[in-house]
Amino acid sequence: MMMTTVASTVANSAQEASFVDDIYAPLACDFPRFPQAVVRRKSSQILVGSVAIGGNAPISVQSMLVNDTRDVKESIYQIQRLADAGCEIIRLAVPDKEAAEALKIIVPKSPIPVVADIHFDYRLALQAADNGVHAIRINPGNLSSKEFVKAVVRKCKERNLPIRIGVNGGSIEKPIKERYPKQMVRQLVESALLNAQILEQEDFTQFAISVKGSDPMEAVAAYREVASRCGYPLHLGVTEAGTLKRGLVKSAFALGLLLSEGIGDTIRISLTADSIEEVFAGHEILKAVGLRKTGADLISCPACGRCEVDLHGLTSQVEALIAKLEVPLKVAVMGCFVNGPGEAEQADIGIAGGIGQYYIFRGEDRIQKVPEAQALEAFKAELDRAVMEYKVEHPNWQTENKLPSLLKP
């Protein structure tokens, strides 16, 4: 097999590669060959409380409570905690009538929209809808009759509530599993489309779809298929992704790939970890793909033999400083003067360390050189200045990006 060389792709391949007075002949003459910004898939739009999903709405970050919904006080506390961390939609398990009844108290006190998660007993969906939730998630494979699905649809039409058809690999309808044995992607897609058709037949189109597999490649394939076959909003996720480290890798891979292709309208990162980690990961994935412009982006070098400071400790301190920062600044932490500001010149603000001294820099400009003992304080002062300058230059940034709270003032 003949290898494609750089020379074979350049129009004037006979020209010798050289630098003359810092000028060279361009090599990527037809640049760019690939899109450099995400073009989102067109979809319909639904409203989950105050949060729009689909259409041109920002991609929202969801999570789910892990405590017992029947513990009202703890549920309200955990929802507020997640909302403070940036969660925009929260889902609660509704396993019985007592949990459904608790929603009467929980929902009015929630600062973000509440989704009732329904399995097996469709009557709990009816009760949850009457008790004020903002959306219903059904797992159609766990409802024994399609007549039960239709009953939920009728209630949601009555209450003007959207539905998520939440298909996952552990609850595919038996006829579909028997028809397509050991074909998980096909099973997920067929179940989603079958139930979407049932809702359409009930003249109901206010719904989103999810097809979550625990294998990230299967999840990607299933979402691609559904995205190509309908125009409904898609809720992305890898189900049962695992513990913090493993789950983050699986979710970042699958969701990053789909989001970069324009697929996805809301996301939930499923982790066997504190739900705060799900929210943080969701926002970071969206920022990495260029679909979320709020919050600081931290870049830091991995350290090498040139590093003469406690880089891990310094990075942790800076990360804590910017944790609540809402303006989209790029912040750099570098372990030597080679990487900072040189390799971090794209940063809005950064700090680079050497033995006993640090540079604070803005882009390519070194702002000041300070002793180690004063470095963090000096960096914080310059960070505050950068934040104020950004707000002056972008007076509408907050109103453009801040999602509304459901709580009455």
In this predicted model, what pLDDT tens digit does every residue of 227-272 receive, in sequence order?
999 999 999 999 999 999 999 999 999 999 999 999 999 999 999 9
For residues 100-118, give the mean pLDDT: 98
Q: How far, in Å, CA of 67 to CA of 90, rounded?
A: 13
Report pTM. 0.89
Each residue's pLDDT tens digit, 178-217: 999 999 999 999 999 999 999 999 999 999 999 999 999 9
Q: How far, in Å, CA of 321 to CA of 379, rounded?
A: 10
| pLDDT surpasses 60 at 15 | no
Each residue's pLDDT tens digit, 346-404: 899 999 988 888 889 998 888 899 998 899 999 999 999 999 999 999 888 765 455 55
Each residue's pLDDT tens digit, 51-86: 999 999 999 999 999 999 999 999 999 999 999 999
pLDDT at residue 409 in the model: 41
Fold for the domain defined by 297-393: Sulfite Reductase Hemoprotein; domain 1 (3.30.413)
| pLDDT surpasses 50 at 308 | yes
CA dihedral (188, 160, 58, 50) positive or negative: negative
In which region does residue 228 sit, left (phi positive, over 0), alpha (psi from -120 to 50) or beta (all else)?
alpha
In which region does residue 98 sit, left (phi positive, over 0), alpha (psi from -120 to 50) or beta (all else)?
alpha
Give the mean pLDDT of the chain.
90
Residue of 130 and 334 predicted with greater confidence: 130
Q: For the chain, which residues make up each domain, given as ranges?
A: 45-289, 297-393
pLDDT at residue 389 in the model: 94
pLDDT at residue 351 in the model: 92
Query: Could you give the percent of the chain with pLDDT greater than 90?
Result: 70
Residues 227, 208: contact at Cβ < 8 Å? no
**DSSP line for 104-137:** HHHHHH-SS-EEEEE-S-HHHHHHHHHTT-SEEE
pLDDT at residue 354 in the model: 80
Contacts 24+ apart (CB under 8 A), 241-244: 241/214, 241/216, 241/269, 241/270, 241/271, 242/271, 242/272, 243/271, 243/272, 243/273, 244/271, 244/272, 244/273, 244/277
Helices marked H in 4-71 — which ranges? 6-9
Given the candidates 3.40.50.80, 2.60.40.790, 3.20.20.20, 2.130.10.10, the CATH classification of the domain at 45-289 is: 3.20.20.20
| pLDDT surpasses 50 at 111 | yes
pLDDT at residue 408 in the model: 46
For residues 301-324, give the mean pLDDT: 86
